[in-house]
């Protein structure tokens, strides 16, 4: 095993005003001591990773830093009884890539508590088509089903449907028999959304809030929102009785301009989704579902692929709101 490996490194200028991203050679001795040393085969690009790449203080505060919320690879060394060398493992929905160095590196050293074994029937690459975004979508669906929201309850809606969480949400809901309406500002992505399972595609202008109105026409049995702000307010106001919306993101706004009327008069459920800190049993169960009964028919259609040295343009693309679907990063050495 070579003592050197490649890693994307984000550095802050001495005056603190600029950030650079370069691929650098690092030594295994640079990694923190931890339970597992993992040779990373694949990672994936999330919006949070892109924010880390530009030094967003709400994501990463210590530099130099290696982003990457996700990693899938092979255990090289283990001091944990839960894993042995040559085990295939997934890291997703944890603090790597934010609080400490992440998956945009050929090796990572992490606590065994954040790793899960790769389920049978799933490849390392497929696990990164899901990644944190897909796991978040699965958790949202899990929470919606816990409050009784099954396909027979009526139509479901997904906002930000071309993004990572949104696209996997559309695919999972469709797989399980839900009638899914995908909301997007990218009308050129209609064919993509229909391919991955959307029954209807609507522009985000079609789902608009009416300020001052406490309730809107009852339309949705449930949904998964990645946007927040007035779009989430519109969804809550237009939910059917005892429906529910799982909220996973705030790319539009962190505010929620809505009264209590949807909750009091219609019994609407607002479900907050946080993939970090989830109990281990639930994490394992959800990964097994993603490998089995929840696996979308066209899983591979959700993703494009790049190498580590091709990642920077993909970061710029996701920051500009131009990403469609998921981006898998092939971290294997040439």
CB 36 within 8 A of CB 89: yes
Query: pLDDT tens digit string along 154-186?
Result: 999 999 999 999 999 999 999 999 999 999 999
Confidence of residue 211 (pLDDT cuts 50, 70, 90): confident
- pTM here? 0.95
Residue 160 in tokens: 């930000």
pLDDT-based confidence at 141, cuts 50/70/90?
very high
**Domains of the chain: residue spans and CATH:** 4-118+299-330 (3.90.180.10), 133-272 (3.40.50.720)
For the chain, give the mean pLDDT. 94
Helix axes 124-146, 280-291, angle to 10 degrees: 110
Report the SS3 class of residue 287.
helix
pLDDT exceeds cutoff 90 at 276:
no
pLDDT of residue 27: 94
Taking phi over 0 as left and psi of -120 to 50 as alpha, with beta for the rest, 325 belongs to left
Tell me which residue of 143, 137, 179 sits closest to 299, measured CA to CA. Answer: 137
Which of these ranges, 52-66, 76-90, 121-135, 236-250, has the smallest mean pLDDT? 52-66
**Residue 11, token pair as written in the block:** 């550095």
Q: What pLDDT, on the 0 to 100 scale, is given for residue 323?
A: 92
Residues 6+ apart with CB under 8 A from 15: none
According to DSSP, residue 254 is labeled S
Per-residue pLDDT reduced to its tens digit, 108-123:
999 999 999 999 999 9
């Amino acid at each position: 095993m070579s003592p050197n490996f490649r890693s994307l490194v984000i550095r802050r200028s001495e005056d603190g005003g600029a950030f650079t991203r370069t691929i650098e050679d690092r030594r295994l001795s640079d990694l923190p001591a931890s339970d597992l040393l993992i040779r990373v085969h694949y990672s994936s690009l999330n919006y949070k990773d892109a924010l880390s790449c530009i030094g967003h203080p709400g994501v990463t505060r210590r530099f130099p830093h290696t982003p990457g919320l996700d990693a899938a690879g092979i255990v090289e060394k283990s001091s944990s009884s839960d894993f042995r060398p040559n085990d295939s493992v997934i890291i997703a929905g944890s603090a790597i890539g934010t609080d400490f160095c992440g998956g945009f590196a050929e090796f990572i050293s992490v606590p065994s508590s954040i790793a899960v074994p790769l389920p049978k029937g799933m490849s390392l690459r497929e696990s990164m088509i899901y990644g944190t975004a897909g796991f978040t979508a699965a958790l949202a669906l899990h929470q919606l089903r816990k409050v009784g929201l099954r396909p027979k309850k009526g139509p479901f809606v997904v906002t930000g449907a071309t993004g990572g969480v949104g696209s996997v949400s559309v695919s999972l809901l469709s797989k399980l028999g839900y009638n899914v309406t995908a909301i997007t500002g990218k009308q050129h992505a209609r064919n993509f959304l229909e391919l991955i399972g959307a029954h209807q595609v609507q522009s985000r202008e079609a789902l608009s809030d009416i300020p001052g109105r406490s309730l809107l026409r009852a339309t949705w049995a449930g949904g998964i929102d990645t946007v927040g702000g007035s779009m989430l307010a519109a969804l809550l106001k237009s939910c059917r009785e005892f429906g529910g919306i799982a909220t996973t993101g705030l790319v539009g706004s962190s505010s929620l301009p809505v009264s209590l009327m949807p909750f009091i008069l219609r019994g609407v459920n607002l479900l907050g989704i946080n993939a970090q800190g989830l109990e281990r049993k639930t994490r394992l169960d959800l990964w097994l579902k993603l490998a089995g009964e929840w696996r979308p028919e066209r899983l591979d259609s959700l993703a494009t692929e790049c190498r580590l040295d091709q990642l920077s343009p993909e970061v710029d693309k996701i920051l500009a709101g131009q990403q469609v679907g998921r981006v898998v990063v092939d971290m294997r050495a040439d």
